[in-house]
Amino acid sequence: MLIDIKNLYKVYDLGEVQVAALNGVDVSIAKNEYVAIMGPSGSGKSTLMNIIGCLDVPSDGEYILNNKRVSEMVDDELAEIRNKEIGFVFQTFNLLPRANALHNVELPLIYNGTTRAKRKEIAKDTLEKVGLGNRMHHKPNELSGGQRQRVAVARALVNNPSIILADEPTGNLDSKTGEEIMQLFEDLHKAGNTIILVTHEEDIARHSRRIIRLLDGKIVSDEATKN
């Protein structure tokens, strides 16, 4: 199993009040699954995504990613897992405005010590994969919203991560461009990538193969889609 989460709790201390964002969550996700995590605001879906993405740590419970016990790691170890195991795609793209597409995609490889020549080669290949081979020297303000999100997807892919974690990836796109990005995720899934999609939009979640729904910090349903 790629992801194994058992009895996961996350409690936030807000002054004198404690808020339980996750309340005993159990979930397993296999390699090459395509899963959507859904729930209303305050349901715990963002907290679960942050823990899966090693951006936050649980208050209690166990999280094993790729046979590594992440729930017991310290900050430096979590940073290494984030860089090697997880490719992030955010709603707001999070691209460096002054860097071209190629350099934006290269960034994770700089952090892991890949040589300059190798970095450029891998980044070019990855941009080709997402259909942007002819736009690699353009800066974000010279690209459309859909093209910027493709750059962000390429950056997520460049380290060959265990998981692509996408947080509302079509939230800043019009419906036609959003569908194009969802088709790109479909292609990546068919190519063998594991995709976890966090969304509040039912039609976006329906692109996945499995929908996990949260409410008040608990999983209330976990079912396959009809895809």
pLDDT at residue 14 in the model: 86
Q: What is the rounded average pLDDT of the residues 175-200? A: 94
Query: What's the pLDDT score for residue 5?
Result: 98
Q: What is the mean pLDDT of residues 143-147?
A: 95
Extract the runs of DSSP E, i.e. beta strands, from the chain.
Answer: 3-14, 17-29, 34-38, 60-65, 68-69, 86-90, 163-167, 195-198, 210-215, 218-224
pLDDT by residue (tens digit) across 62-121?
A: 999 999 999 989 999 999 999 889 999 998 899 999 999 999 999 999 888 899 999 999
Average pLDDT (136-153) is 96
pLDDT for 135: 96
Give me the CATH topology for the region 32-58+76-224. Rossmann fold (3.40.50)
3-14 and 60-65 strand pairing: antiparallel
CA nearest 161: which of 74, 66, 55? 66
Asked if 169 contacts 185 with a C-beta cutoff of 8 angstroms, the reply is yes
Indicate the Cα dihedral angle 69, 71, 74, 79, nearest 10°: 80
For residue 48, pLDDT over 90 is answered with: yes
Supply 149's token pair.
Answer: 């999100």
How high is the pLDDT of residue 109?
A: 92
Considering the chain, what is the average pLDDT of its residues? 94
